[in-house]
Amino acid sequence: MSVPRFGLGTFRLKDDVVRRVVSDALALGYRAIDTAQGYDNEAEIGEVLEASGIPREQLYLTTKIKPANFAHDTLISSLRESNEKLRVDQVNLTLIHWPVPNGEVKPREYLSALAEAQQLGLTREIGVSNFNIAGLKQAREILGSTPITTNQVEIHPYLQNRKLVEFARQEGLHLTSYMTLAVGKVMQDEVLQDIARQHAATPAQVALAWALRQGFSVIPSSTKRENLASNLKAQELKLTDEDMGRIAALDQGGAVRLANPESARPHWD
């Protein structure tokens, strides 16, 4: 697996906030940074990365192509622009941000363009985000021998995406969990609080450790340095089978999905 197990998400972080958060994260030891064209923060992240002096080979940068840039020529030119903003010659991973199944640009065009961008050296690896099982099957058919490095999807204790997870395991497809903390909801959960007390941990660490134990990569975010530091410690937390079973019982299915734009979403499994 090339995708780091633990990284920094930057959704909704902009301007001086994202500059400060990325700077703090790098100082704490984060080396994987996840962004997207649609986040409108690539340039600020690039400033901080360049100023940090951290060697490029120590960083893992992920960006995502937004639907407005799905047309073949636009996709490639937009990724060149993303690289310029991030101040790198090549990102490590580029994802299709949303499948947009009913959009004007069809999957064959944007996935083929993404594979071409990889061949051009604009990105080391490619993948997808928010794809369902049918979308993953179609993507593999279109891409042929070109690997899908990850499918980045919403997974947290209340939305465990079990059908997709089982399919990914059977097919050897890696998953990256976003919104693993359910936008802070895990902090108020009595089950997670109880498990956290037993391990001298925090509920956030428990939720992240739960995802890590299943083999997912995670990209939590916070505007507070102390939370960024605390989140990292989830990698050291070892949950028991009983803990995992209690968390499994929290699943509420798609009714609690947090990211679900009507114009771009697939038919969820």
Mean pLDDT across the stretch 96-103? Answer: 95
Dihedral sign for Cα atoms in the order 115, 120, 9, 36: negative
Count H helices, E strands: the chain?
A: 10, 8
Longest dimension (CA), the chain: 54
In the predicted model, what is the mean pLDDT of the chain?
Answer: 97
Mean pLDDT across the stretch 86-91? Answer: 98
Catalytic residue among 30, 39, 110, 158: 39
Mean pLDDT across the stretch 249-263? Answer: 94
Q: Please give the share of the chain, as a percent, with pLDDT higher than 90.
A: 97
Q: Please identify which residue in the block is written with the tokens 């979308």.
A: 135
Q: What's the order of all strands across the beta sheet hosting 217-218?
A: 8-9, 32-34, 60-65, 91-96, 123-129, 151-154, 175-178, 217-218
Mean pLDDT across the stretch 243-269? Answer: 95
Q: Domain boundaries in the chain?
A: 8-255
Mean pLDDT across the stretch 119-127? Answer: 98
Look at residues 170, 179, 194 and name the one whose alpha carbon lies nearest to residue 247: 194
Q: What is the residue type of 60? A: Y
Query: What element of type H or E holds 152?
Result: strand 151-154
CA distance 101 to 232: 36
Cα 148 to its chain centre, rounded Å, is 14
Contact predicate 158/251, CB 8 Å: yes
- Looking at the domain covering 8-255, what would its CATH class be? alpha beta
Mean pLDDT across the stretch 3-9? Answer: 98
Tell me: the pLDDT tens digits for 37-77?
Answer: 999 999 999 999 999 999 999 999 999 999 999 999 999 99
Mean pLDDT across the stretch 172-196? Answer: 98
108: pLDDT strictly greater than 90: yes
Dihedral sign for Cα atoms in the order 44, 48, 50, 56: negative
Q: Please give the share of the chain, as a percent, with pLDDT higher than 70.
A: 100
Q: Would you call 110 a catalytic residue per the annotation?
A: no
CA distance 86 to 122: 12
Which residues does 102 contact at the CB level (< 8 Å), separation at least 6?
none
Nearest 5°: CA angle at 26, between 14 and 31?
100
Mean pLDDT across the stretch 166-178? Answer: 97
Comparing 254 with 240, the larger pLDDT belongs to 240
What integer pLDDT is reported at residue 128 of this predicted model?
A: 98
208: pLDDT strictly greater than 90: yes
Q: pLDDT class for 252, splitting at 50, 70, 90?
A: very high
What integer pLDDT is reported at residue 44 of this predicted model?
A: 98
What integer pLDDT is reported at residue 240 of this predicted model?
A: 98
What integer pLDDT is reported at residue 118 of this predicted model?
A: 98
1: pLDDT strictly greater than 90: no
